[in-house]
Amino acid sequence: MRIKKELVLLGFLLISFFIFSLSNTIANNNKYFIRGDISNVKAVLYNFDDKNDKYILQNLVKAIEEYKDVPYRYGDSSETGFDCSGFVALVYRKFFNLKLPRGSRNIYKYGHFVPKNKLRPGDLLFFRMGKNIGHVGIYLGYGYFVSAESHKGKIGISHLDSIYWKKKYVGAKRILTIKYYLEPRILN
């Protein structure tokens, strides 16, 4: 009887350890992002080996920290309020020295297409609102992106595979490349 209790206890401990290890693995694979939460975004920096990706992500983290409490304001692209394309334009102008046009449909005309499995930090993600492209966000990594969202009233982090965004996803464009860090660029 005593041996059975010890085996049951040992089995319970092994199962508990396995579940704990599995939950840590899942947390590490999610790279500390929590849907809608921007407080832990810095942790993802340590998981990028590519210097270009890390540089882009460092600037995105700065932008998120700087603009996390700025209110959503349709049609604006200032530091006191912005919509989705205004946020993207502001971040690209201030942190990457690149001027983008206003409006997600206009931004969509630039860059080159990137397959979903080849996304890198800084790539722009486009989403359909109704029949047309009507939302844009900036890819962070591991399926997550940041954008200014009207329903949140400010910027937030979401996952590409969430039920809402997955069905609205149109595609991604890459505009940031190493050449854009060398001198200012203007896209018209």
Query: 158: domain CATH number?
Result: 3.90.1720.10
Least confident of 4-18, 131-145, 159-173: 4-18
State which amino acid sits at residue 116: K
Clarify whether residues 53 and 92 are in a common domain: yes
- Residue 76 has a pLDDT of 86
Overall number of domains in the chain? 2
Q: At residue 162, what are phi and psi to the nearest 5 degrees?
A: -65, 155
Clarify whether residues 7 and 92 are in a common domain: no
Least confident of 19-28, 64-73, 80-89, 153-162: 19-28
Clarify whether residues 93 and 21 are in a common domain: no
70-94 burial code (b ≥16 CB/10 A, e <16)? bebbeebbeeebbbbbbbbbbbbee
Tens of pLDDT, residues 100-127: 999 999 999 999 999 999 999 999 999 9
- Residue 167 has a pLDDT of 95
Nearest-angstrom CA–CA distance, 171 and 84: 16
Clarify whether residues 43 and 64 are in a common domain: yes
- Residue 27 has a pLDDT of 39
Residue 169 pLDDT class (50, 70, 90 cuts): very high
Clarify whether residues 60 and 140 are in a common domain: yes
Note whether 26 and 18 are within 8 A (CB): no
The range of the structural domain enclosing residue 40 comes to 33-186
Clarify whether residues 48 and 131 are in a common domain: yes
Clarify whether residues 51 and 98 are in a common domain: yes
Q: What is the mean pLDDT of residues 10-24?
A: 39
Residue 41 pLDDT class (50, 70, 90 cuts): low
Clarify whether residues 8 and 61 are in a common domain: no
Nearest-angstrom CA–CA distance, 160 and 147: 12
Tens of pLDDT, residues 49-96: 667 778 888 889 889 889 988 999 998 888 999 999 999 999 999 998
Clarify whether residues 20 and 52 are in a common domain: no
- Residue 22 has a pLDDT of 34
Clarify whether residues 26 and 37 are in a common domain: no
Clarify whether residues 75 and 16 are in a common domain: no
Clarify whether residues 26 and 109 are in a common domain: no
Higher-scoring residue by pLDDT: 153, 25: 153
Give the count of beta carbons closer than 10 Å to the beta carbon of residue 38: 19
pTM: 0.74
Q: What percent of the chain has pLDDT over 90?
A: 43
